[in-house]
Structure formats: C-alpha cells, structure tokens
Amino acid sequence: MGGFKDDFDDIEEEVEVDDGGDEGDEFAFDDEDGEGKPGKKGKTEGSGFNRDSYYFYKDKLVQLSGTIRPKERSKEGKVISLDFKTDEKIYSVVMDDMGKKLTTSCFQELLVTGLVSKITEKEYTIAIKTYI
C-alpha cells in the first residue's frame, strides 16, 4: 500500500475562538428574548424529581428478607396479587411465573432475590427471581 496519501494529512485546521458573540449560531439554545434561559420548564424541573434516588432503585438486583402476603383476592377467595413486607418497606410482587408460584406460600418468612423498581416515592415493586 505504498504511495497512498491521505487527504487529511495536508489540511491545517484553524481554531476559531468563541468570544461569546451571537453571530447566528445554528445550535444556540437561547430563547427568543436572548437571556439564555429556557422559555419553558421541563417536566422534571421543579417537580421534586430526585434523579439519584430514582436510579438507585431502577431495576436493582437485591436480596431481602420478609413475609409474603396476599394483596388482593378474587371473589372466589383466590389470591391474585401479592405484597412482600420487609422491616422497612412493602413491595408489590410482579405476578410473573414466580409470583404466581408464590401465591401458595402466603404468610411465610422468605429470603428472596429479585429486581426492585421504584414506582413512586413510597411504592416499589419486586420481580422475584429466587427464594428460600
């Protein structure tokens, strides 16, 4: 591959210094009055959304000890949803295959491993993967 010359080897780049002027930059995020502040607040701004606590519990694999108990029953008395109560919080159990299997283990003390998701400030769900 001898003799091949890249076109970029001969280009000398000039670095332009931005002096803060507004000469029609296409990518400026200034609003129409030129103050540099967004015109509207975003949905998360000022709503009390705490990014750190939200992502702390976003699909985090944890191991918890607590009691499995029925949350909701059908008219026939069959358990259709579960809660998992620990010393600190109550988690709604995701009713996948493992959740349905646990409907026969109500009021038992269990050690579970599962994915915890934060729904609201006080509401959490757990998708149980293993239990003993």
Q: How far is Cα 44 from Cα 38, in angstroms, rounded to an integer?
A: 14
Would residue 75 count as lying in a domain? yes
Q: Which domain holds residue 124?
A: 51-131
pTM to 2 decimals?
Answer: 0.56
**44-92: pLDDT as tens digits:** 455 565 555 555 545 778 999 999 999 999 999 999 999 999 999 999 9
**8-50: pLDDT as tens digits:** 555 555 445 555 555 555 555 555 555 544 545 545 455 565 5
**108-126: pLDDT as tens digits:** 999 999 999 888 888 999 9
Helix (H, G, I), strand (E, B) or coil at 32: coil
We report the CATH number of the domain holding residue 61 as 2.40.50.200
Nearest to 122 by CA among 81, 89, 86, 84: 89
Phi, psi torsion values for 77, nearest 5 degrees: 95, 5
Q: Specify the number of domains making up the chain.
A: 1
